[in-house]
Each structure stands twice: as structure tokens, then as C-alpha cells.
Chains A and B, each alone.
Chain A
């Protein structure tokens, strides 16, 4: 059997001019084993579709996951990958990224994996602004363990482990990511492929941690959880597409908008003759304050669910600062010499006599 531990060659450089890929180039030879009709298929397809636009060679893409349905993701990608353990994908991915900042590191995780068992790692990855593209498949249920409530399940939800309804308040993942210092915080939906592609492409190009909360339908254990937002007839009146530099309008005929009165947002009608488009708040994704405010809309009665890029900030990434610091110290102290290091400190010589 060939392919044993090495053959003495040095690493080949990736070609300077990356070849033009198609989505198919990123599909692995493994059969996809999600339930038929699962929203995960769409996320997989959109990721495979945007990768050719990144101009990053296949061998520099790596997908790292935890445990759960969505965490099977790496097996279906023709790239490097680690199917890790429950909740720990951001930690493993942080090791990969800081050891080799040249790689494009993706994290495929779910609402349970990321926000419950792995909550600590998610918030600290965001805080560090380490270059991970975190895709959080949010189906508001535990699928792989067959239907218990998750940390994003709505209060009172009846599931296998909450036959009388949950008594846990859910997380708002966008708020959590913003509160953790995320520099790219977005939300999209499995059943809006175009939007999902746009958001993923921006996430992929972001320098630092990019967090995307992806509404994803589990058609077996939580079917229709997001139909209000994803289906053609209800979507326009219930979803607010947040876009940088654009007024916050929604509705079938773009007839509703968000107005800010002091610190209080109001839903206004653009048809009632009292308000016009000039009253509508224009979104600015570089404003942390706006992001924090708009992130709450989904939890406010009468407000639409905000979708899009909430916040984007340019802040040096963890891996950049790590590399820079090593360079700076090396410049100052000179490249380390092992023998000098071993022989440093208070030394003395014993001579034979």
C-alpha cells in the first residue's frame, strides 16, 4: 500500500493562478445522508455554489464541524475537513487557523452544537475575531437525537423532552454574536438560496470571525418552523431584508417601514398618508447600535424578522495579531537560536579537575 508516513518531498506551492472551479468540484464522493427534504441540502448547495467565486484553491478550504445533523457537512465537501466532537468545532478550527492562517476555515455547526454544549467556544471565537466562517444551521430543535428542544426553541414549545412545553427562554443568536464582539454578524434562510449565497460570499470574504445564523427547516422534527418567513405568500409581510445604505422597508408592496422615534423603533405604514419613505430608517451595517437594535425585531410583537448582514466591522484578526507579534518580537530579539536558549539564564561551567 503506498501512502505511508511521508516520502521526503517538501510541500508543493499552490498554483499562482487558481483554476476555475464549479460547484461540482466541491462535492465529495460520499453519499449525502440527510433526510430527504432537509434544509441542510440547500445550505450545502449554496456553499458549493459560492466557493468557485472565492479564488481560493480547493486545498486551502477546510470545513470543521461538531456533532449533529449539520455537522456531517465536512464529509460531503471535497476539501479538507474534520468532523469533530460535540460543541468543540470552533476550538479545533481556531487551532487550524492560528497554526496556518493561509487556510480558509469554515465551521459547520447547529443551534445545539454552537449555543448549548459549545456556547463557550462560540463566544470566545467571536471575541477573538479569529478568521472562522461560522455557519450555524438553526432548526430550533435537536434532530440527530430525535426531537428534543434546543437553546433556540421558542418558549413553551412541546417536544419529546418537553411534553408540557419548554420553560427555557431561547437565545437570539444574532444578539449573542453581537454581544460577543462579532465583527460580521448575519442571518439568512435555507429557502432563500439567492440571499444565502450573497451572505455566505460576504462571510467568506470577511477578515475575522464571520457568524451566520441560518434558518433551516427540519422537516422531520420541526417542520415549518420558519415557514412564516420562508414561504412566498407570508414572507414579504414578515421578513425585513436588512441592507447597508437602504431604507428598512418591507411588505408585499414595500408599503411598510421602520421608523426610529428616539431609541424606540416603530413599524409605520407608507400608505397611510402620514409617513413617507424619508421617515424610514436607513440601515448602516457599520453601526453597532443599529445592529443591536434591529437584532431585537424578531422578538418584538408586530415586527418583521430581520434577515441580512447586521454588522460588519474591520478589526485586526487574531491570527494577524499573532503573526505580527511573532514578527515584531523576532525583529526585536532576533530569530531564536536553540542552543542559546538552552544555555540562557544563570549558567556556570564545571571544569574537570
Chain B
């Protein structure tokens, strides 16, 4: 039976089910296969903080959204075209996001009275008119999976667990994806459990052939490969990219990488990745707490390693005192903050941009520290590399801000050749002649002198230091001098970072100014508005402290500055205080990436409020 194949160029699928249904795995498999097919893609995993929330409940729903396309995309999409709902709760939670007339693939087997009640449906939405605006495809996924696995000698429970592979197979069929990559993965993953491997494989194929053979589906779709820049690509999450970025920086600097961390969502994957790179000389240290992790990093830095500690908001707060010590000791340490919803435990698995002011000012005393922020999952590689470069060149703690969306989200990454990466020169002081631990070079940077070096025995510590000698000093004028010196050293990094680029016209009425993980949403919105004829430009900041040295000039070239953020206006506040200008804020703090549609409306409103502007005439 052959069915028609419809070509589409942009699809957003959301897999949703119980947190035990394997939706993250399903999404990841679909993503990897889609990457291999050559589409551009962007993903948004969204899962509850609970490991296994009670089955069937609304708060136990886990989802994985994937957008793939035959052109260059920047976001995982606002509204799915397809929702795979493994149970009523998944339907309930995600229906409001689905595009009108979007497709729902529902596992009818789970739409029983108990699950419907748990999801808060008064009746069965598949039977009443709840879903009239959508196309609904009812598939008894559980039953079909059980049928497919009959006679394999599996328990009922084991068989039911394979149902996500059935759903995956069905989607593979629907979007004309090959099954081979997942077949290979199953073999590798379940190598020790051949029966489970076979069952998952069978379930996937059953799903695929179900699509092929039933009358339910009239047609299937095809998304042609995207025209990406030539080269070798891999799909990468932000956390993977961060891990690779610091490994690369250490290799290029010719010093060992030392990662000290305490597990915390959503940063733990960095620790997981780095702990598997032992044969790259990477040392990882799972500390007893966040404070210890920072302290271990301080010690490793003193001993000459590229010291990195990773965390998220609550951990960043705990590390604060130790990072102040790092500022006083003038040692290179990279602190990765994968931001999540706060305050307190907040929304551990959700994204936010609310630690900017914390890493800027959240240390006692006058304790300046450079801050860089990644724009996309793959950009985490480059900004982690930059953070390391700045840290060792300027002997200072440096913050790298990413966020839950960047950390867990993924996109294709054009893999760089290590030869193309900027050099990171490191020289350790070895000459005892005239050695002083707090002597300065032309950048106000003190020497890196490692314990173990004969003749350089010296003591450093948290007490204020006399410049040059590094001896303890309570002298008032020396303290005043040192406070200024530390601030100037960090401010001076501005001459060593790229100028701020502006997308679109270099001057005009409106500049949209964003930073961090909102890049994709903001750039695609600006693009769309420009295509509609609106006149506006976009600048995305990756260096937050110090700011690029031309930023004041850039801001001065525009009548209105519009600053969208997933916080209450933290960059806005920095821009106001640094440049004495006002800015228009757009703030949505939902624990999710900004929605392009909302952003578009807000920008249009701002544009229309600008006298004699609006559309280009």
C-alpha cells in the first residue's frame, strides 16, 4: 500500500507522557535520527523535578519538543504541529500550546476513567467536542505494543514499557525517517539484555508498519535536508558543549582540566560528561557540597590546573564567599551557572535568566568578576572556551552563564577543528630572581606561580595584600589602591573582547537588545518583523562584564532600546546604570523560553508608540 508523501519544510513535534513513559528518550532518538537526515533542528526538553511523579497526574507529565526544518532555525518553536499524547494528563497539559488544527496522536488505551479523572477531564475528550479544532488520530498504542511482543516471554510490565518505541516508530514513518540509527542505538544500549533490545526494536517496527498499513493515515510527510554550511556536524546540547569547551580550552592552554562540582539540576550533565573524559587527563571531583566544590577549584587553580566548577542558582549562592576569595587570590577559575527558575529551589528543571545580577554583584566586598553568556546550545562551547581564556589570561574567576533551556536543549553544531580555536597562552613563573607574587604585567595581571617551583615559595590568602609583595597589608591607602586595581583589571578586559555587533541597520529608531539563551527567540522574531517591513535592529550580548567597549556608542545610535529577558529586567538595570539611558523592558518569567508571538506583539507595540515610525514607507 503506498501513500502520498507531502513535503513540508518546518515541523514542531511534542512527545508528552508520564515521567516514566520514556518521553525524553523518545525525543532524543527522534532528534538524533533527524540530525543524521540533515535537517536543522532545535529541541526543548521539559520534565518535572520529581523522578517518577505519580502516574497519570498533571504534574508528572514529561515532554520533549523538537523542531526540524529544511532551513536554518533558531528556536524549538512556540506551538507544536503535532502532539503525541501518551495519556490524558499529557493531552491536558499540552493542548493549550498546540497549533489550531494541529495533529494529536493519542494513545487511546490510557484514556480510561481513572486517567481521565487524574487529568481532570469531566468526560473523554476523544469522545466529546473538546478536540473539534484539531485532527485527532486515535491509536491503541499499549495494546498494539503488547500484540507485537506476544510470545516473547516478557512480563506484561516489560512489554508495556516498550510502548514509547512504538510511538517513535510511528513518528518515524510519518516523517519518513530511517529506523537504522535507533536500531543501532538499541543494540548498543541493551547489549546485555538481548530480549529487551529485541522487544524495543520490535515495538518500533510495529509502530512504523502500523503507520504504513492502516487506513488511519492518509499521507505521510517529508522534510528535506536543510542547506547548512558545509562541514562536519553533530547534534549537541548546551551542557555537552560546555564540557567540550573547557576540555578544548585546557588542551589548547596545555594545562590539565580540573572540574569540581556538586550535583545539581540542570548542571549535572556537565559533570557526567567530564567524568567520562579521563583519558583526556581530565580530573573530576564530586565534592561534598557546593562550597567545597568551589574551594577545591581554588586549590586546583593554585596548583596550575584549569579549574572549573559548575552549578545552578542555589549553588552559585553557596559558592559566593569562595569566589570572593578567588578574586582576592587572583586565581583563574571558571564558574558555570546553568540558570534555573528561582528564588530558592524554585523551578529546578525550568529555565530562567535571573542570576545575572547575582553573578555581577553577589559577592561581599568590591569583588569584580567577568561574566560571559552563551547564546545557543552550541555557543556554550565557544563561551566556555572564552571564559577559560579570559580566566587564565587575567588570573581571575570568570562566570559563564547558560540556562536550563540551553543546557538541555540541542542543535546541530558545525564542529570546529581544534587548530582553528584561538590560542590560550599560559606561562608559569619559574624565575626566582625578583619574584613577587603580586607583581603586575601590562594588563595588571599577577604571575601564576605554582607550588612545587623551587625558589618561589610564597603565601597568598584572603587578607588584603600589599601590591607587588603580596604581604598582608592593613594600610588604608594600599586597600584603596587594591580595590581600584582589581576593578580596573576586570574593566580592562573590554579591550580583549569583540566589539558588539548589530544585526540590521547600525542606527535607527529601535534596537532590540538581548543576552543569553533568548537569542533564538529574539533573532527569529526580529527577522520576521523585518521581513514584514518593520525597521528594527538586534544586538545580542555575550559579554556581560565588562560590556563590549563600543556598547555605549551602539546604544546611542538608536532612539529606543527594547530589552526582552526571562527575569524582571536585570540587563535593563545594568544598561540604565552603566549608560544613563532608559530602555523598554519585556519580561516573561514562565520558566520557559520566550514565545516568539508574544515578543512580536510587544515589539510591534513599542514600534508603533515611536512617533513617525512603524512600517518603512
Given contacts A85-B322, A326-B279, contact A99 B292 (CB under 8 A): no
Q: How far is the CA of A3 from the CA of B455 in the complex (A)?
A: 13
Closest to A318 in B: B285
For the complex, is B295 an interface residue (Cβ under 8 Å from A)?
yes
For the complex, is A94 an interface residue (Cβ under 8 Å from B)?
yes
User: Which chain B residues border A64 with CB–CB below 8 Å?
Assistant: 299
Q: What's the minimum C-beta distance from A88 to chain B, rounded to whole angstroms?
A: 4
Q: Is A95 a contact of B244 with CB atoms below 8 Å?
A: no
Q: What sequence of 0s and 1s flags, for each residue 539-568 of chain B, a beta carbon within 8 Å of any chain A beta carbon?
A: 000000000000000000000000000000
**Stretch among A52-60, A245-253, A306-314 lining the B interface:** A52-60
Q: Is B415 a contact of A83 with CB atoms below 8 Å?
A: no
For the complex, is B287 an interface residue (Cβ under 8 Å from A)?
yes
Q: What is the size, in residues, of chain B's interface with A at 8 Å between Cβ atoms?
A: 93
User: Which chain B residues border A145 with CB–CB below 8 Å?
Assistant: none
For the complex, is A348 an interface residue (Cβ under 8 Å from B)?
yes
Q: Is A92 a contact of B460 with CB atoms below 8 Å?
A: no
Q: Is B451 a contact of A62 with CB atoms below 8 Å?
A: yes
Q: What sequence of 0s and 1s flags, for each residue 51-89 of chain B, a beta carbon within 8 Å of any chain A beta carbon?
A: 000000000000000000000000000000000000000
For the complex, is A84 an interface residue (Cβ under 8 Å from B)?
yes
User: Which chain B residues border A339 with CB–CB below 8 Å?
Assistant: 417-418
User: Which chain A residues border B321 with CB–CB below 8 Å?
Assistant: 85
Q: Is B299 a contact of A93 with CB atoms below 8 Å?
A: yes
Q: What's the minimum C-beta distance from A9 to chain B, rounded to whole angstroms?
A: 4
For the complex, is B365 an interface residue (Cβ under 8 Å from A)?
no
User: Which chain A residues border B277 with CB–CB below 8 Å?
Assistant: 336, 341
For the complex, is B247 an interface residue (Cβ under 8 Å from A)?
yes
Q: How far is the CA of A341 from the CA of B443 in the complex (A)?
A: 34
User: Which chain A residues border B435 with CB–CB below 8 Å?
Assistant: 2-3
For the complex, is B450 an interface residue (Cβ under 8 Å from A)?
yes
Given contacts A3-B439, A74-B461, A95-B258, contact A12 B430 (CB under 8 A): yes
Q: Is A100 a contact of B427 with CB atoms below 8 Å?
A: no
User: Which chain B residues border A94 with CB–CB below 8 Å?
Assistant: 285, 292, 295-296, 299
User: Which chain A residues border B439 with CB–CB below 8 Å?
Assistant: 1-4
Q: What sequence of 0s and 1s flags, for each residue 428-453 of chain B, a beta carbon within 8 Å of any chain A beta carbon?
A: 11110111100111110111101111
A100 interface neighbour in B234, B251, B304, B460, Cβ under 8 Å = B304
B453 interface neighbour in A5, A11, A124, A334, Cβ under 8 Å = A11
For the complex, is A8 an interface residue (Cβ under 8 Å from B)?
yes
Which of A80, A97, A345 has the largest count of B CB atoms less than 10 A from its CB? Answer: A80
Q: Is A95 a contact of B295 with CB atoms below 8 Å?
A: yes
Q: What sequence of 0s and 1s flags, for each residue 199-242 of chain B, a beta carbon within 8 Å of any chain A beta carbon?
A: 00000000000000000000000000100111111111000000
Given contacts A82-B302, A95-B296, contact A2 B429 (CB under 8 A): no
Q: Is A338 a contact of B280 with CB atoms below 8 Å?
A: yes
B299 interface neighbour in A9, A92, A102, Cβ under 8 Å = A92
For the complex, is B498 an interface residue (Cβ under 8 Å from A)?
no
Q: What sequence of 0s and 1s flags, for each residue 318-353 of chain A, a beta carbon within 8 Å of any chain B beta carbon?
A: 000010011001101111101101111111111110
Q: Is B248 a contact of A338 with CB atoms below 8 Å?
A: yes
Q: What's the minimum C-beta distance from A66 to chain B, rounded to whole angstroms?
A: 10
Given contacts A326-B279, A346-B234, A352-B230, contact A5 B459 (CB under 8 A): no
Q: Is A5 a contact of B278 with CB atoms below 8 Å?
A: no
Q: How far is the CA of A75 from the CA of B457 in the complex (A)?
A: 11
For the complex, is A264 an interface residue (Cβ under 8 Å from B)?
no
Given contacts A94-B299, A341-B247, A342-B418, contact A348 B429 (CB under 8 A): no
Closest to A333 in B: B279
For the complex, is B456 an interface residue (Cβ under 8 Å from A)?
yes
Within 8 A of B (CB), among A76-113: 77-85, 88, 91-100, 102-103
Q: What's the minimum C-beta distance from A182 to chain B, rounded to whole angstroms?
A: 15
Closest to A124 in B: B288
Contacts A/B (CB < 8 Å), 20 sampled: A5-B395, A5-B447, A11-B430, A12-B454, A15-B454, A30-B472, A59-B456, A75-B461, A81-B458, A82-B460, A83-B459, A92-B302, A95-B299, A99-B305, A326-B279, A326-B283, A333-B279, A338-B280, A342-B416, A343-B234
Known: A11-B452, A91-B293, A99-B307. 20 other contacts (CB 8 A): A1-B468, A5-B429, A5-B445, A58-B457, A59-B452, A59-B457, A79-B457, A80-B451, A83-B462, A92-B295, A98-B283, A100-B452, A120-B292, A326-B279, A330-B279, A336-B281, A338-B248, A338-B280, A346-B235, A350-B228
